[in-house]
Structure 1
C-alpha cells in the first residue's frame, strides 16, 4: 500500500527532488541566458538576427522593386535606398547612370569612381560574383537606359540566428551550462556524502561494544530509509540486551540450583557412608564384603563428582575465592605428590618422579587452586588410566617457559573408561589454570596422555 507521507520522507523522494530541481534550474537558466543573449544580439545586429532570409529571396525582391520604380530621380532612388537600409542596416547601395556616371550612393564605404567605364564595370562584376559582400545588380525600371542600381550586403547577415548567436556567445552559454551541471554534481555529492556519513556512523555503532559486550544504540534523527534501518538496529540491540539479561538470570538460577543440589546431596551421602561403615563392621560373607567395598568406592566417586560440580558452578559464577601469593612451587608439588604416592602405590602403579629446580621456583599462584588442579589431574589418572598402571611427574624448562608434566599410559581420552566425570574435572582445571595466568597443553593418544602445566617466563 502506497503511503504518500512516508514516501515524502524517503531518500528516493529527496533524490527525485534534486533531479527535478536540477532539470528545472537548467531549463530556466538556459532560457534566461538565451533571452539575454538574444536581446544583446538584437541591439547589435537588429531584427535580422531573429529571422534570416536566403539570398535568392533578397535578390528577387531587389529586382522586383527596382523594376517597379517609375520616376527616376535622385530623390526617388534615395528613398528606395533608405527603405532597404532600414531592413539591412549594414547594406551599401549606389546608382550608376546610363552614361556611367555615379549618381546616388548610400552607406558606401569604399572608393568608387565617379565615371564607370565598361572595363571597370566588368571588373567589378567579376570581383563581386560569389564573393563577400553579397552583391545584386539590376537595371533601374527594368530598362538599361536608366542605368543600374547596386546593393551590397555582408554575407554574415544571412547567417542563421542560432548559428550567429552560437558563434558570438557560444562560449558564454557553454560556461553557463557547465556551471549549472557542476552545481548539480556538487549538490548530488553532498547528498550522497550525507548518506555515506550516516551509514559509516551506523557501521561504527555496530563495531563498538558497550560494557555488556553488545553494540551501542544510535541516535535516530531522520525517518528515511537509513533512519528506519537505525531504528531496526536499535530494536535489535534492545532485544539482544533483554535476551542476554534473561540468559544471565537463568544461568544464575541454574548455578544456584546446582550449588544447592550439590549441598543437599551431601547430607544423604554422608548418612549412606555412615551406614555402610556400620554394615562393614558386621560379619559378612566374602561376597558381601566385595559389595561393601564396591559401594564405598561408588560413594567416594559420587562425593568427588558433587565436589567438582559445586566447584565448577562457583567458578563460573566467579564466587570461588582466589588469593594469589608467591610459593615455592617445586616444594608444593612434591608435597602434593607425597600425599598421592601411597594411593597410587596401593593401586599398583609404577611411579616415576623426576622433579628438578627451575631458574625461579617462586610462582605467584593460589595454593588452594593449584592443589585442586593437581588433585583433579591425579584423580583422572587414577580413574581413567588405571589400566596403564603408570604415572610420571616431571619438570621441564625451556627458553620460554617452565612446566610440570604429568604422564600416564592409559587408553587415552578418546577411549571410554568405566569411571565418569572426567569432563567437568578438566573444565575446572582449565578455568583455574587460566585464572592464575598459567597455560596448559594436553596430548592424548591410545598409548597414554601427557599434560603440561606451564608458566611463561617474563622477558
Structure 2
C-alpha cells in the first residue's frame, strides 16, 4: 500500500472513529445507568454515570490520538534512520549496513534506493582500492627491474673509473645520470595496470573465501542494477591458495564481467566446495567450439594458467559454469 493511500485511510479513520466512539460510549453508559437504576430516580446528568461518561470520552480521545500517532512516529523513525544512514555513508570511513525493507511503499522504495547507493559506494571503493594496489605492486616491480641494471652499471663504471683516472668529469656525469634515473623510478606515476602481464608474480597465502566475499560485495551493485541475483554460499572453512591476490581478483573480475554482459542470466551462484571454486549462472550459454573467441574468456584461460590453476569451463542451454582449483592447495583450515 502506498503512503498516499495509507494516510488517506488514516484520515478517514480519524473522521469516522471520533463520532463513533462518542456514540458508543454514550450508548453503553446509558444502558449501564438503566440497569443499575431502572426507575431513574436520579436524572442521568446528575448521576455517577455522567462524569464517568465524560472521563471515558477523554480516555477514548487520548487512546485514539496515541494509536494514530504511532503511525506517524513509525514513519518518522524510518526517515530518521534513512537520514542517519546517508550521513554515515557520506562522512564515515566504514560503509553502513543495508537497511531492511519492511513494507513495499514509497519509504520502502527509498530504502531500496539507499541500499543501492551503499552497494555502488562499496563497489567503487573496492575498485579504487584494487587499482591502487595494482599500481603500487607494479611500481615496486618496475623499481626493482630498473634498479637492478643500474646497480650493475655503477659497478662497471667503478671498474672503468679505476682504469681511466683522467676521465673523472665524464664518470661523474654518468653517475649523475644514473642517480637521476633511479630517482625517476621513485616518482613514477603508474597509468595502467595492464603491463602487469609482463612482470613476475609475488605470491603469498590467500584466504579464498575472504577474497570471494569482497569480490561479491564489489560486483553486487552492478548485478543489482542489471536485475541479476548474485548469491555467495559461504561455508565454515577457509580454503587457502598460495597465489597472487591481484591476479586472482583480475581472474574473477573477468568471470563476473562475462556473466554480467553476455550470459543473459537471472542468477549467478558463487561457492567453494571440495577445494573447488565454482561460479555458475543460469543464462543462455554459448557454443564451446567458439569459447576462445571472446577476449574475456581468453584472459580467464591465460590467467588461470599463469596462476597454476586447474580451469574447467562448461556451457550449455541451461547456463555456464566456471571451475577453478589450485594445483597445489594448502590444507583447509577450520575457522
Which bracket does the TM-score occupy, shorter chain normalised?
0.3 to 0.5
TM-score, normalization by structure 2 = 0.42
Structure of higher CA gyration radius: 1
Higher relative contact order (CA 8 A, sep 6+): 2
Q: Please, what TM-score do these two structures have when normalized by structure 1?
A: 0.32
Structure with the largest fraction of helix: 2
